Amino acid sequence: MNELLLLSLTFTVLTLIGMPLFGAVGLTTILALFMIDIPYTLMAQTGYTSLTPFPLLTIPLFVLAGRLMEVGGMAERLISVATSLVGAYKGSLGLVTCFACMLFAALSGSGPATTAAIGSVTIPAMKKDGYDVPFAASIAASAGALGSLIPPSNLMIIYGLVSETSIPRLFLAGVLPGLIITLLLMGTTYIIAAKRGYGGTGDPFTWAPFRRAAWDGKWAIGAPVLILGGIYGGAFTPTEAAAVAVFYALFIGLFVYRKLTLRKIIESLRFTALMTGLLILLTPTLAFGQLSAFYDIPAAVEAGITSITTNVFVVLLLIGIFYIIIGTFMESLAQIILFTAVFLPLVTSLGVDPVMFGVFTVITCEIGFLTPPLGGNLNVASRISGITIEQISVAVLPFILAYIVGMIILILFPDLATFLPDLVFGEARF
């Protein structure tokens, strides 16, 4: 117990003084190895094995594909399709932002990337249309978080690797909850926009503009059909689908839309390297997770919580609150790796499907994208809009509430996550 207290204090102090999470977890793990006299080679061995799984290659490939699609003109086409579907309603540009983020989420796999791709176009447009700037930025930040829930999702790939859960099942499980949260975000946007009198001055919806926009954006719309259709049609694995997405983005950007240049391709590669550099967290966090098993932390957590309650709703709600608090200062990648091993045995012992828990975990991570001081999406929206994170943090609160409502709906109706995977692949046993 004294050892656990010392390790907890070490990790907390290192985090509070501003040490990068990689260093804080790594030094805490090294201290733990020293205290229990385990060879330091465990870190090297874990580092090697953590980066060898073939599905990990999916993450940089999807990041690269999403970036190429953004700078290659696909994001603009998706925004045009979304705009044509929304007529002269209050908050129409905000609704377009939510809908376009949902569409682009099926290409990028990343929340911050989706925020950057769609927000860079729609935030200036909303400012021009008279929207309050923090409100416009908060719409893009919150809707951009859908990039981590709607397939393909980088966070679901990490969860699948850590929990040994089928990644295709996880991808499919995110569809219905993703659609529900999209509707919640659009509803929140409409209510606030109507109250403040934003929008509602454009042309009403007609089919002709939509048909033109859909035809012009057919190659962009075809991307998720190709990627997800190939996975569930058995043509290729998720990793192969990511490679196909990269080549598709290159082909469309170079030869169809002709917006890709050598400079944009090099910039996309640089962006991908920076984004996937977070995978360096895998080594210390996985080693730390192995040590947590040595200290019987999962069993202690299970015993502690079940001594209070065995009600599944209450247990998941408590875990959700914990995840949301942790997400304010911890990267989602590290959060999933560190705590899945702790909480998954508990929830499965209570009858929760690992696939459903994966979707639940990702939703809580999405809330972490919207909470300072870390708030990845807030940082992106802040750079685009030119205002401070503090200003956006206040404006984003109603959208965080929408995510919390979506999380509670999932807890109450877990079949929302498992219905499509069970329909396509059959009911899984765990």
Which two tokens mark 290? 């192995």
Provide the pLDDT for residue 282: 77
Task: Enumerate residues 6+ apart whose C-beta is below 8 A from 101.
Answer: 114, 115, 118, 140, 143, 144, 146, 147
DSSP-assigned states of every residue in 96-120: HHHHHHHHHHHHH--HHHHHHHHHH
State the number of CA atoms in the 13 A half-sphere of 39 facing the CB: 5
CA angle centred on 198, ends 195 and 199, rounded to 5°:
130
- How many other β-carbons are positioned within 10 Å of the β-carbon of residue 404? 17
Nearest to 51 by CA among 337, 274, 326, 244: 337
Contact at 8 Å (CB) between 290 and 49?
Answer: no
Report d(CA 300, CA 286) in Å as an integer: 19
Contact at 8 Å (CB) between 399 and 139?
Answer: yes
Provide the pLDDT for residue 249: 92
Please state, in angstroms and as integers, the Cα–Cα distance from residue 47 to each residue in 245, 280, 285, following that order. Answer: 28, 9, 10
Provide the pLDDT for residue 299: 76
199 forms bridges with which residues in the sheet?
90
Write the pLDDT tens digit of every residue in 338-366. 889 889 989 999 999 999 999 999 999 98
Provide the pLDDT for residue 87: 60
Report d(CA 321, CA 364) in Å as an integer: 8
Rg, the chain, Cα only? 22
90 forms bridges with which residues in the sheet?
199
- The stretches in the chain having pLDDT less than 70 are 1-2, 86-88, 200-205, 293, 428-430
Nearest to 100 by CA among 142, 65, 144: 144
Nearest to 332 by CA among 279, 408, 287, 391: 279
Report d(CA 368, CA 382) in Å as an integer: 16
Report d(CA 158, CA 173) in Å as an integer: 15
